[in-house]
């Protein structure tokens, strides 16, 4: 009985103590819990904290996707070997900005998915694809662009169509031309139907056409290497069609130039000249001196192949004028040397020497030793050829005046400057 009374008394004392400390204990307990939570967060890794936030917010799909990407990064790093070409950086789970960015936009995408806002879902994934623009993040960029473009719901939206344009450009950079072509063609089809603009306000249909022009140009390189001009021309014409409709005169001129070169290689010089004419018109409008110079060089080659020397000379003189006016000294020297060669092949050595000497002077100013040596050889050859022709003519004629010139030449060994052209009368003094 006594023990029962004592037990009841102890219970009353405990209850009184709890009532007495009731105002203080809850505050102490809450404070301890807060400290314990802060300490727990501090001890967790960055990866754990991000994942916990996503789970606490109810974004379980986003958590699963982020966790998958983090594991993929670990697998890529583990599989990478020295010299494998895989760019390694700081582990993804240690990069706060990237983890926070993925958490934010994946959570927004999942929230939009719950409400059926499929365009918003794609927009958030497009943002992530654009965010991971560094070369070492290519795999992440491709993941988010595909997760945007390949969605069953929202896959035909404006953001998804822009993602296809981005995929086409990325695959083109990687040399995966078939994949690039597939993505660009899908982008063009959808953008044509709806007239969408990309994030920078540019028409997506034009962006897709520019990508397709580059893709077809790259695809044409393989048949060109094997001299399969029919296949190359088919691809280049497709590219030219895209370029002409791209509203970008620069790439239209470049596409025309590529076609001209290919027709030239195939021996179809008339057709080549038609495309070169288009180039000169466009480059002239754009005031693109470099474009004009390379086009006139190519055009001169086609004209010369047809045996039209007079027109070739006119073309090269135009090339020299453009080069001189725009300070393109290397091209100017090349034009002079090519003009000299034309006159040399026509046995007009004096005229050839004039152009060779001009090319030599330009090369000297440029301090280009390779070009300078080339010009020196051409000048020497032209002069020697002229002297030999005149010497031979005097030997054959054996007239008193010819013999006097030969004796004079023997004494001076031809140290005088070349003063006449080979087309001059051989009886004229040449020493």
Return mean pLDDT, the chain. 84
- H helix or E strand, kind and range, residue 324: helix 309-325
Tell whether 337 and 257 lie within a shared domain: no
pLDDT tops 80 at residue 34: no
Q: 3-state DSSP call for residue 409?
A: helix
The rounded distance, in Å, linking the Cα atoms of 95 and 404 is 92
Q: 389 CB contacts (<8 Å, ≥6 apart)? A: 347, 349, 422
Residue 315: how many other CB atoms lie within 10 Å: 24
Give the pLDDT band of residue 387 (cuts 50, 70, 90): low
CATH of the domain at 239: 1.25.40.10
- pLDDT at residue number 350: 82
Query: Which range among 73-82, 127-136, 173-182 shows the weakest confidence by mean pLDDT?
Result: 73-82
Decide if 299 contacts 315 (C-beta within 8 A): yes
Who has greater pLDDT, 381 or 52? 52
Report residue 104 as tokens. Answer: 């934010």
Task: Specify the DSSP class assigned to residue 88.
Answer: P
Does residue 370 sit within a domain?
Answer: yes
Question: Do 275 and 368 belong together in one domain?
Answer: no
For residue 203, what are the β-bridge partners? 197
Q: What angle do CA 352, 354, 359 make, to 5 degrees?
A: 95
Task: Look at the block and give the residue holding tokens 């249909």.
Answer: 205
**How many folded domains does the chain comprise?**
2
Is 29 inside a domain boundary?
no
Closest CA to 295 of 311, 314, 270, 315: 315
- Distance between CA atoms of residues 177 and 171, nearest Å: 7
Cα gap 337→347, rounded to integer Å: 15
pLDDT confidence bin for 412, thresholds 50/70/90: low
Kindly provide the b/e burial profile for residues 213-244, where b requires at least 16 CB atoms within 10 angstroms of the residue's own CB: bbbbbbbbeebbeeeebeebbebbebbbebbb
Read off the pLDDT of each residue in 421-431 and give the average, rounded to a whole number. Answer: 37
Whether 296 and 338 map to the same domain: the answer is: no
| pLDDT score, position 397 | 61
Q: Model confidence at 28, in pLDDT bands (50, 70, 90)?
A: very low
Torsion-angle region of residue 59: left (phi > 0), alpha (psi -120 to 50) or beta?
beta
Please choose, from the candidates 263, 239, 262, the residue with its C-alpha nearest in 3D space to the C-alpha of residue 252: 239
Structure tokens at 336: 């002079």
Q: Residues of the chain with pLDDT > 90: what percent? A: 61
Q: Which of 260, 283, 303 is a domain's end point?
A: 303
How far apart CA 229 and CA 258 sit, in angstroms, is: 12
Average pLDDT over residues 159-173: 97
Q: Is residue 235 in a domain?
A: yes
Q: What are phi and psi of 109, to 5 degrees?
A: -65, -40
Confidence band (pLDDT; 50, 70, 90) for 388?
low
- Is residue 168, in this structure, part of any structural domain at all? no
How high is the pLDDT of residue 400?
72
Provide the pLDDT confidence category of residue 43 given band limits of 50, 70 and 90: low
- Domain check: are 336 and 408 in the same one? yes
Cβ neighbours, 10 Å, residue 372:
19
Average pLDDT of 392-409?
Answer: 63
**Short-list 252, 253, 232, CA closest to 241:** 252
What confidence tier does 194 reach under pLDDT thresholds 50, 70, 90?
Answer: confident
Q: Mark whether 336 and 293 lie in a shared domain.
A: no
- Range of weakest confidence among 65-69, 163-167, 318-322, 346-350: 346-350
User: Quick check: 330 pLDDT over 80?
Assistant: yes
Residue 79 pLDDT level (bands cut at 50, 70, 90): confident
Res 430 pLDDT > 50: no
Contacts of residue 76, defined as CB under 8 A and 6 or more positions apart, other chains included, come to 86, 139
299 and 360 fall within a common domain = no
Confidence of residue 45 (pLDDT cuts 50, 70, 90): confident
Q: Are residues 295 and 336 in the same domain?
A: no
- Position 413 scores a pLDDT of 60
Same structural domain, 260 and 344: no
3-state secondary structure of 197: strand
347 inside domain: yes
What is the per-residue pLDDT for 418? 43
Backbone angles phi, psi at 203, to 5 degrees: -60, 130
Lowest mean pLDDT among 10-24, 174-188, 208-222, 399-413: 10-24
Q: What is the pLDDT of residue 419?
A: 44
Per-residue pLDDT reduced to its tens digit, 179-188? 999 999 999 9
Confidence of residue 291 (pLDDT cuts 50, 70, 90): very high
> Is 255 within the bounds of a domain?
yes
Mean pLDDT for the stretch of residues 354-382? 86
Q: What angle do CA 202, 207, 209 make, to 5 degrees?
A: 145
Angle at 6 between CA 4 and CA 12, to 5 degrees: 105
The position carrying tokens 């219970």 is 11
Q: Do residues 380 and 288 both lie within one domain?
A: no
Q: What's the pLDDT score for residue 39?
A: 45
Q: What is the pLDDT of residue 320?
A: 95
The answer to whether residue 295 is domain-embedded is yes
- Which pLDDT score is estimated for 31? 53
Is residue 401 situated within a structural domain? Answer: yes
Range of lowest pLDDT (55-64, 142-151, 275-284): 55-64
Token pair listed for 37: 């939570």
**Can you give the pLDDT at residue 420?**
41
Q: What is the mean pLDDT of residues 283-312?
A: 94
| Count of positions (residues) in the chain | 431
**Distance of alpha carbon 342 from alpha carbon 363, whole angstroms:** 19
User: What pLDDT, on the 0 to 100 scale, is given for residue 82?
Assistant: 64
Same domain, 360 and 279: no
The parent domain of residue 363 ranges over: 331-431
Let me know whether 252 and 297 are in one domain.
yes
Residues 297 and 340 in one domain: no
- Kindly state the percentage of the chain with pLDDT values over 70: 77
């Amino acid at each position: 009985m006594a023990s029962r009374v004592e037990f009841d008394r102890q219970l009353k004392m405990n209850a009184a103590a709890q009532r007495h400390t009731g105002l203080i204990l809850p505050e102490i307990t809450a404070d301890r819990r807060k400290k314990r939570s802060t300490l727990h967060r501090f001890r967790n890794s960055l990866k754990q904290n991000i994942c916990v936030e996503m789970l606490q917010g109810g974004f379980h799909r986003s958590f699963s996707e982020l966790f998958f990407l983090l594991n993929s990064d670990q697998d890529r790093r583990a599989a990478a070997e020295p010299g494998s070409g895989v760019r390694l950086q700081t582990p993804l789970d240690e990069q706060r900005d990237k983890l926070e960015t993925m958490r934010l936009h994946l959570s927004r995408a999942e929230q939009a998915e719950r409400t059926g806002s499929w365009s918003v879902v794609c927009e958030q994934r497009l943002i992530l694809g654009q965010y991971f623009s560094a070369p070492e993040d290519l795999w992440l960029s491709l993941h988010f662009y595909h997760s945007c473009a390949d969605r069953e719901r929202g896959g035909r939206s404006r953001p998804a169509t822009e993602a296809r344009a981005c995929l086409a450009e990325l695959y083109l950079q990687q040399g995966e031309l078939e994949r690039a072509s597939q993505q660009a063609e899908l982008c063009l089809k959808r953008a044509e139907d709806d007239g969408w603009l990309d994030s920078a306000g540019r028409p997506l249909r034009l962006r897709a056409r520019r990508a397709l022009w580059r893709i077809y140009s790259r695809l044409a390189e393989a048949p060109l290497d094997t001299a399969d001009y029919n296949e190359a021309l088919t691809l280049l014409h497709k590219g030219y069609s895209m370029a002409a409709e791209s509203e970008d005169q620069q790439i239209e001129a470049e596409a025309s130039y590529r076609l001209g070169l290919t027709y030239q290689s195939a021996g179809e010089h008339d057709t080549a000249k038609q495309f070169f004419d288009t180039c000169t018109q466009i480059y002239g409008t754009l005031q693109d001196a470099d474009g004009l110079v390379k086009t006139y060089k190519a055009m001169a080659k086609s004209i010369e192949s047809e045996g039209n020397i007079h027109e070739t000379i006119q073309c090269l003189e135009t090339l020299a004028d453009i080069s001189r006016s725009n300070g393109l000294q290397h091209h100017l020297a090349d034009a002079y040397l090519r003009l000299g060669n034309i006159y040399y092949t026509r046995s007009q050595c004096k005229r050839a020497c004039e152009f060779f000497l001009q090319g030599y002077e330009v090369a000297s100013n440029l301090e280009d030793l390779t070009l300078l040596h080339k010009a020196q050889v051409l000048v020497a050859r032209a002069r020697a050829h002229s002297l030999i022709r005149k010497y031979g003519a005097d030997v054959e004629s054996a007239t008193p005046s010819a013999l006097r010139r030969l004796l004079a030449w023997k004494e001076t060994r031809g140290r005088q400057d070349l003063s006449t052209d080979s087309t001059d009368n051989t009886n004229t003094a040449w020493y």
